[in-house]
A = this chain, B = another copy of it.
Amino acid sequence: MSGKRTRLTPQARRAQLIDLGVEMLATRRLDDLSVELIAKSAGISRGLLFHYFPSKQDFHLEVARAAAAEMLRRTEADTELTPVEALHRALTSFMDYVEENPDNYKSLVRGAASGDAKMRAIFDGTRATMAQRVIEVIGGMGFEVDARTRLAIHGWVAYVEECVVRWIDDGGLERDDLLEMLTKSLPAIALSASDADVGTLASILTAEQAIGVK
């Protein structure tokens, strides 16, 4: 217990409390994140926690922000890879993250319309970053990124989210099959939003060795 009672600088204490929040978020929804439990884990009083965060809502916002940043960090694309490999790798990291933090992720996606504007801003910002990364991948695949493609990519992010959330809840197929399907769906969607020749899709979808799928 003595370790927990260590005096920390205000900045370090704040970071510690947020980290604890992110950690606990893995297996519970943000709404169910108890400040009492967090304070107890940090070995401080509930009152002291509110010394660092003006309100429970502010604390939740910081935790959501940190969780989103962590997710984005872990799914960052490796620019050394080909676009399709990078996409497959990023989706794999994304699935790893989601499987380690199922409740957190579900509450992030499903709670996007939480009615709380600040919370929604965090969620929208995360989605926008993901969409921007995908736009770069799609550009790298040789697609022209116009307004229609851009819209399709935002739609694709929603597609991935819906598939992943349903898969967590219902299962029904192997993780690798899901990853293959999600990887292929991006060029498929980009094609359906472009005037590109179907051959473009064919060459991408049949480059199966490149993405390590059957």
Interface pair B161/A173, CB less than 8 Å apart: no
**With an 8 A cutoff between CB atoms, is A158 at the interface?**
yes
Interface pair B192/A166, CB less than 8 Å apart: no
**With an 8 A cutoff between CB atoms, is A154 at the interface?**
yes
**With an 8 A cutoff between CB atoms, is A33 at the interface?**
no
- Smallest Cβ distance from A160 to chain B, in angstroms? 7
In the assembly, what is the distance between CA of A112 and CA of B115, in Å?
11
B residues near A181, Cβ cutoff 8 Å: 148, 151-152, 192-193
- Smallest Cβ distance from A64 to chain B, in angstroms? 14
B residues near A173, Cβ cutoff 8 Å: 147-148, 151
Question: Residue on B with the closest CB to A157?
Answer: B162
In the assembly, what is the distance between CA of A177 and CA of B149, in Å?
11
- Smallest Cβ distance from A90 to chain B, in angstroms? 17
**With an 8 A cutoff between CB atoms, is A4 at the interface?**
no
**With an 8 A cutoff between CB atoms, is A159 at the interface?**
yes
| In the complex with contacts A154-B162, A162-B158, A185-B177 CB distance below 8 A | no
Which residues 159-212 of A sit at the B interface, judged by CB distance below 8 A?
159-163, 166-167, 172-173, 177-178, 181, 184-185, 187-189, 191-193, 198, 201-202, 205-206
**With an 8 A cutoff between CB atoms, is A114 at the interface?**
yes
**With an 8 A cutoff between CB atoms, is A94 at the interface?**
no
Interface centre among A156, A172, A178, A192 (most CB of B within 10 A): A192
B residues near A162, Cβ cutoff 8 Å: 154-155, 157-159
A residues in contact (CB < 8 Å) with B = 110-115, 147-148, 150-152, 154-163, 166-167, 172-173, 177-178, 181, 184-185, 187-189, 191-193, 198, 201-202, 205-206
Q: Which 3 A-B pairs have the closest CB atoms?
A: A158-B162, A184-B192, A188-B192
For the A-B complex with A155-B159, A155-B160, A202-B202 known, give 11 more contacts whose Cβ atoms are closer than 8 Å: A111-B113, A113-B113, A113-B114, A115-B115, A154-B163, A155-B163, A157-B162, A158-B159, A181-B193, A188-B189, A201-B201
